[in-house]
Amino acid sequence: MNREMIKELMSNMDLVKELDEYGKNKLATLMEELLIEIMGKERYEYLLENPKDKGNGSYKRNLNTGLEKLELEVPLDLKRRISL
Mind listing the pLDDT tens digit for each residue in 28-80? 889 899 999 999 999 999 999 989 999 988 999 999 887 788 999 999 888 87
Residue 26 has a pLDDT of 85
Within-domain flag for 46: yes
Report which residue type is found at 35.
L
Residue 84 has a pLDDT of 47
pTM, rounded to two decimals: 0.69
Q: Is 63 left (phi over 0), alpha (psi -120 to 50) or beta?
A: beta
Task: Please state the separation of Cα 31 from the chain's center in Å.
Answer: 7
Among 5-9, 12-16, 33-37, name the most confident range: 33-37
Within-domain flag for 47: yes
Residue 23 has a pLDDT of 76
| Residue span of the structural domain in which 12 resides | 3-77
Within-domain flag for 82: no
